[in-house]
Chains A and B, each alone.
Chain A
Amino acid sequence: GAGVSQSPRYKVAKRGQDVALRCDPISGHVSLFWYQQALGQGPEFLTYFQNEAQLDKSGLPSDRFFAERPEGSVSTLKIQRTQQEDSAVYLCASSLVSPSYGYTFGSGTRLTVV
């Protein structure tokens, strides 16, 4: 597609519920990043994929967070047993391998845990 698509746009989860957030990157973009943006903060890195390989997951806050990109295109970020501190906007970005080409961000998924 023309841009990075994320779904759902909004998600309300009860504490303890599992959620799955989807990212559909630009076709042909090798690199895919997930970021977490808490209210009033800048986005913070969660994890990075190069094609289907998850090369960096150093930003995942706990083992309740899991991401996959099995065929090197669509990616899913899963959060198990959600907690209130997981409430944030989750942004996906894709790019060609070199950052000099820039990154294209999706509109994000706003997760609210109640």
Chain B
Amino acid sequence: AQSVTQLGSHVSVSEGALVLLRCNYSSSVPPYLFWYVQYPNQGLQLLLKYTSAATLVKGINGFEAEFKKSKTSFHLTKPSAHMSDAAEYFCAVSTDAGGTSYGKLTFGQGTILTVHP
């Protein structure tokens, strides 16, 4: 079984400030971890993914995340927020396609990021 908890349904930052969105996961086998962004009335766009290579993963638009196995965390960060970063962000976990999980994604509840000028 796998699950994801995103801490904080809303995060508000000033433009230029650090962005930190928190994600903790639970998985009985080595996980694949993803961060997606969703703009209003749009689908999900992949920001970055962890697939058991480097634990610090760099993604698009200046975002990065660090996989910490001991803390079962995969927090998303960006050094300097931009107005265009305002959106909803989802953390998700999947496992290998073998077995009965078939690689399906389990999502967190989402975090809405607001960026103030």
Q: Knowing A42-B110, A102-B34 are in contact, say whether A33-B104 is a contact too (CB < 8 A).
A: yes
User: How far, in whole Å, are A42 and B107 apart by their CA atoms in the complex?
Assistant: 6
Q: Knowing A31-B97, A42-B90, A107-B43 are in contact, say whether A100-B32 is a contact too (CB < 8 A).
A: yes
B100 touches A56 (CB 8 A): yes
Q: Count residues of chain A with CB under 8 A from any CB of chain B.
A: 29
Interface positions of B from 71 to 117, Cβ below 8 Å from A: 90, 92, 94-97, 100, 102-110
Q: Knowing A43-B90, A98-B97, A108-B43 are in contact, say whether A103-B102 is a contact too (CB < 8 A).
A: no
Q: How many A-B pairs with Cβ below 8 Å?
A: 73
**B contact residues around A95 at 8 Å (CB):** 103
User: How far, in whole Å, are A44 and B105 apart by their CA atoms in the complex?
Assistant: 8
A99 touches B107 (CB 8 A): no
**A contact residues around B94 at 8 Å (CB):** 99
Q: Knowing A42-B90, A97-B97 are in contact, say whether A103-B105 is a contact too (CB < 8 A).
A: yes
Check B18 for interface membership: any CB of A closer than 8 A: no
Interface residues of A (CB under 8 A from B): 4, 31, 33, 35, 40-45, 48, 50, 55-56, 91, 93, 95, 97-100, 102-108, 110
- Could you pull out 18 A-B pairs where Cβ atoms are within 8 angstroms? A4-B43, A31-B103, A33-B104, A33-B105, A42-B4, A42-B110, A43-B105, A56-B102, A56-B104, A93-B44, A93-B105, A95-B103, A97-B103, A98-B97, A102-B46, A103-B34, A103-B46, A107-B41
